[in-house]
Amino acid sequence: MNFNFSKYLFIAIILQLTFAELLTFNGFQPNIMLLFIILSSIPMESTSRATVIGFVIGLFSDLVLFNGFYLGLSSLIFSVCAYFASQVSFNFAYRNFDLYWLSLVLLGTGLYSFFRYDFFFFNDIVLFLKNWFFVFVYTSFIGFIITRIFKVKQSVLEDA
């Protein structure tokens, strides 16, 4: 088993705590924990295990990393994304790895933006879509850098 879950969890927490604050742009931060949940759930065969891990890490993120203002929001989003990430088959993940995790980042940032910026959704849909798009692009950009530096594709697909 090459994908060392605890090692990558520790790296994700450190990156979220340090670099996300440094990389804040216009009040937006990349959601590195969402990336971790998506990428670590792909090799999991048990969808229930992936969903529970997503929920627990989401609760940890809400309480420790994201100041607890929207308690349960990360748990919901991480659980949904972990469920869908664990549903992928090996052949699909190998051929479409980047497309697959990017579509899950789009889903996760969309759900997060909907609940976090619901005021914009109901009052100014264009501003809501701009916020969602910016968070998605920013998280995806950081995700591409992380997946290339840590060679995540090889680690994840060797365990799938």
Per-residue pLDDT tens digits for 48-107: 999 999 999 999 999 988 776 788 999 999 999 999 999 987 667 778 889 999 999 999
pTM attached to this predicted model: 0.90
Read off the tokens for 53: 């891990």
Per the CB < 8 A criterion, the answer to whether 35 and 100 are in contact is no
CA pair distance 118, 62, nearest whole angstrom: 18
Per-residue pLDDT tens digits for 15-46: 888 877 788 888 888 899 999 999 999 888 89
Helix, strand, coil percentages (3-state) for the chain, rounded to 5, are 80, 0, 20
Per the CB < 8 A criterion, the answer to whether 111 and 80 are in contact is yes
- Whether the pLDDT of residue 159 is over 80: the answer is no
- What's the pLDDT score for residue 110? 95
- What's the pLDDT score for residue 150? 81
Per the CB < 8 A criterion, the answer to whether 150 and 108 are in contact is no
